[in-house]
Amino acid sequence: MQGYLRTAMLMAAMTALVGVFGLLLGGETGLVIALLIAAGMNLFAYWNSDRMVLRMHGAQEVDARTSPDLYRMVADLAGRAGLPMPRVYLMDTDQPNAFATGRNPQNAAVAVTSGLLRRLNSEEVAAVIAHELAHIRNRDTLIMTITATLAGAISILTNFAFLFGGRDRQVGIIGLIALVILAPLAAGLVQMAISRGREYEADRIGAEICGRPDWLASALERIQGFASRIDNQSAERNPASAHMFIINPLHAHAHDRLFSTHPSTANRVAALRAMMRQGSGFA
């Protein structure tokens, strides 16, 4: 229920933002067009976003025959988390990383890079998968989809504004430029706030699923180190999907350090190590 409530609040806030910019750019007609664009993009994304993002990153589905160790690990952790078995995908990327997608736990997928399996040990990989399963259990994957889609709608509207001008050009050239700059910025700030909060929560629940916060802390440190020097080419081509990964995949080119969608890795690690020290239920 809490996941649905957060999703509803996000949709309302971001849709209102879309409507405001539509109203400023085209009056009542602009408002209607903006809301129709947002509704259409959300409806399309709800049903197709998982396939789109997996295809975007060249992810290939694996099963118990093609990748038995990975598949068995996901199945075991999904059972511990009380989740249906998600589809499992592998991305041929040397940078270790992972993300989850899907509109609900019954239609979810976990995707990991070949670099994650190659460069991290099995305990660290298990912790990363547990983190992604936490996103699925929290329905963060739907929230991420809606956020990215509405941010995309705002970008489309600002492009229209730049090309065709505002309502009877009353916005003026300065106001128009301000809208073109501030609209995506506002959407990005919403994405940033939501993404940072959900990462801490997924860290906490992921640590509970795998039973070892220190495994996840170690995984985050190692992924951060590799991500800072190994490019993720598909993420570089599609930076709007960066907020989905467990660690920002764009660190190699510092595209978004100013408004990062991820909290500080050092802070996440500190929280997990504190959780390990305080939690008597952990091994």
Contacts of 170 (CB under 8 A, 6+ apart): none
**Is 124 a known active-site residue?**
no
> Is the Cα torsion angle 67, 103, 203, 225 positive or negative in sign?
positive
Contacts of 264 (CB under 8 A, 6+ apart): none
Entry field: residues in the chain: 283
Task: Specify the pLDDT at position 258.
Answer: 47
Q: How far is CA 222 from the centre of its chain?
A: 20
Task: Specify the pLDDT at position 178.
Answer: 61
Q: What is the DSSP letter of 241?
A: G
Task: Specify the pLDDT at position 2.
Answer: 53
Task: Specify the pLDDT at position 255.
Answer: 46
Task: Specify the pLDDT at position 35.
Answer: 78
pLDDT per position as a tens digit, 264-279: 899 999 999 999 888 7
Q: Within the chain, which residues score under 70 in pLDDT?
A: 1-11, 14, 25, 148-155, 157-196, 251-261, 280-283
pTM above 0.85, yes or no: no
Task: Specify the pLDDT at position 181.
Answer: 65
Task: Specify the pLDDT at position 87.
Answer: 97
Set 28, 61, 124, 132: catalytic member = 132
Q: How far apart are CA 214 and CA 211, in angstroms?
A: 9
Give alpha helix (H) positions in 67-139: 68-81, 114-119, 122-137
Task: Specify the pLDDT at position 41.
Answer: 74
The two tokens of residue 160 are: 């229209």
